[in-house]
Amino acid sequence: MWKWLHPYAKPERAYHLCHRLQPYLWWPGVLALLTGCIWGLAFAPQDYQQGDSFRIIYIHVPSAILSMSTYVAMAGAALVGIVWQWRTAFMAMIAMAPVGAVVTFIALFTGAAWGKPMWGTWWVWDARLTSELILMFLYLGVIALYGAFEDKQQAGKAAGVMALVGVVNIPVIHYSVEWWNTLHQGATISKFDKPSIAPEMLWPLLIALLGLALFIAAVSVMRMKNEIIRREYHRPWVKALAASSVGD
Amino acid sequence: MNPRRQRRLAAVGGIGVLIIGAVTLMLFALNDNIDLFYTPSEIVEGKDGVKPSVGQRLRIGGMVVPGSVSRDSDSLEVSFTLVDTGPAVTVRYAGILPDLFREGQGIVATGVLVDTKLIEAEEVLAKHDEEYMPPELAEKMKGIKHVNPNEGSNES
């Protein structure tokens, strides 16, 4: 069933796959992100309570949702790396970690900037905000642990275990607003119910979400290519690749 | 899958189950402390049998009772009543209220319980819900007249 995946355990095949995927992720991602943000920030109607301030939702919500999705993807790569001992899986994991950390930071920062005018405070130690902050520390922990080892296979294993352990934080973030009483409001779109947002406000949000997802994938794929080249620079196929690109 | 991989998968799964168990137990033990605020009925009737004592610093979260907001004309002092489903608790506060503060709004206030049903607050935060809609729709659905938080007074 998963046989088709096996060739990509080889760095060379993984590199070429990334290279082929990159334009299909990058351009639609940039386009959707721009469309969603411009539509949301300039053309969507004002909110009845929050006026124009609510527009930061078009950056805050996509980055918050995808900070969690990126973490799950990273942990998935870590699982493959640990169980099947794929070197490329650890490379994918470490390619995604800084991207996820930046997205988490954007979610926290835009949340603070939204909280100040609406709630009246930049930060409050409620369950949602605290668990999202822990998510950022998990990302930073994975990056730091990976960087601490000289042997990158060992580094991948250690950081991979940490990434897997951290998955337990993901449901806590998602359900924090239901399990405990918090200053943060409940979920608007990531629930099984009908979204609690008017359709003309929802569409740009979904487009921005799709755009950011593709953008994160594109940046991860680029970082993955770099990681493969960095680890494999002494291999003949990388030398051949370098020689052919000098000719261009 | 070869036996080595199976063993590693089992190890990862086992550790995962243990960690989920440990975190679940921890969160259950800390459950009350993770809540950001007391609701008014928890302050009056107690939460899990424990009533907050007079003099205790705490946070309260509830809805501002319409018509209960009274302002002092010479200072920033304001007092209002919060409810959830049961009894009401009065909050006194001197300072600038957040833009979203209005009657019927969810509010979280930090302060000291000076009497069984009176809180002297030093910080008042506004909570908003997860519903977003244009003003025209809100007027139609909820009968709420749009108040632009960037202009106008807080009294609605």
Within 8 A of B131 by CB-CB distance, chain A residues are 188, 196-197
A205-229 tens-digit pLDDT: 999 999 999 999 999 999 999 999 9
* Nearest one of A36, A72, A60 to A211, comparing CA atoms: A36
In whole angstroms, what is the distance from residue B74 CA to residue B71 CA? 9
CA closest to B105 among chain A residues:
A49
ipTM of the complex: 0.79
Residue B155: pLDDT over 50: no
The answer to whether B114 and B107 have CB atoms below 8 angstroms apart is: no
Q: Which has the minimum average pLDDT: A5-9, A40-44, A95-99, A233-237?
A: A5-9
The answer to whether B146 and B93 have CB atoms below 8 angstroms apart is: no
Residue A174: pLDDT over 90: yes
Confidence of residue A66 (pLDDT cuts 50, 70, 90): very high
Confidence of residue A105 (pLDDT cuts 50, 70, 90): very high
A21-58 tens-digit pLDDT: 999 999 999 999 999 999 999 998 888 888 888 899 99
Identify the pLDDT of residue B147.
Answer: 54
Identify the pLDDT of residue B156.
Answer: 42
Identify the pLDDT of residue B32.
Answer: 76
CA closest to A44 among chain B residues:
B134
Structure tokens at B70: 């009274």
The torsion of the CA quartet A182, A184, A188, A192, rounded to 10 degrees, works out to: -30
Within 8 A of A201 by CB-CB distance, chain B residues are 132-134
A193-203 tens-digit pLDDT: 778 888 888 99
Residue A45 has what DSSP assignment? Answer: P
SS3 call for A137: helix
Residues of B in CB contact (< 8 Å) with A are 5, 8-9, 12, 15-16, 19-20, 23, 27, 31, 34-37, 39, 61, 97-100, 108, 123-135, 137-139, 144, 146-150
Interface list for A 85-124 with B (CB within 8 A) = 117-121, 124
Q: Residue range B125-143: average pLDDT?
A: 80
Computed over every residue of chain A, the mean pLDDT equals 91
Within 8 A of B99 by CB-CB distance, chain A residues are 117-118, 120
Share of chain B above pLDDT 90, in %: 19
Partners of residue B61 on adjacent β-strands = B108
Confidence of residue A77 (pLDDT cuts 50, 70, 90): very high
Within 8 A of A118 by CB-CB distance, chain B residues are 98-100, 126, 128, 149
Q: Under an 8 A CB cutoff, do B134 and A198 touch?
A: yes
Q: Residue range A156-180: average pLDDT?
A: 93
* Nearest one of A235, A192, A184 to B37, comparing CA atoms: A184
Residue A106: pLDDT over 90: yes
Domain spans of chain A, in order of start: 28-247
* Structural fold of domain A28-247: Four Helix Bundle (Hemerythrin (Met), subunit A) (1.20.120)
Identify the pLDDT of residue B154.
Answer: 46
The torsion of the CA quartet A171, A174, A180, A185, rounded to 10 degrees, works out to: 180
* Nearest one of A181, A158, A7 to A97, comparing CA atoms: A158
- pTM of the complete model beyond 0.95: no
Confidence of residue B75 (pLDDT cuts 50, 70, 90): confident
In whole angstroms, what is the distance from residue A226 CA to residue A224 CA? 5
B28-56 tens-digit pLDDT: 888 877 888 888 888 888 887 788 888 88
Q: How many CB atoms lie within 10 A of CB B41?
A: 17
